[in-house]
């Protein structure tokens, strides 16, 4: 059986002028977009 190793997790709190905040904001925006196209789903899922 694999051994469990505990790691304490920490929340990130970047400053608002950080590049990380820009990336996170962009990713949050992209989550709301709907994927659309004219490719049939059978082809796109392959």
For 25-46, give the secondary structure using H, E and C. HHHHHHHCCCCCCCCCHHHHCC
Look over the chain and give the mean of its residue pLDDT values, rounded to a whole number. 89
Question: At residue 44, does pLDDT exceed 80?
Answer: no
Question: At residue 30, does pLDDT exceed 90?
Answer: yes
Question: At residue 3, does pLDDT exceed 80?
Answer: yes
By the 8 A CB rule, do 34 and 27 touch?
Answer: no
Q: How many helices (H) and strands (E) does the chain have?
A: 2, 0
Nearest-angstrom CA–CA distance, 31 and 34: 8
pTM: 0.47
């Amino acid at each position: 059986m694999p051994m469990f190793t505990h790691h304490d997790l920490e929340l990130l709190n970047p400053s608002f002028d950080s590049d990380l905040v820009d990336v996170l904001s962009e990713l949050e925006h992209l989550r709301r977009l709907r994927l659309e196209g004219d490719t049939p789903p059978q082809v796109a899922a392959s």
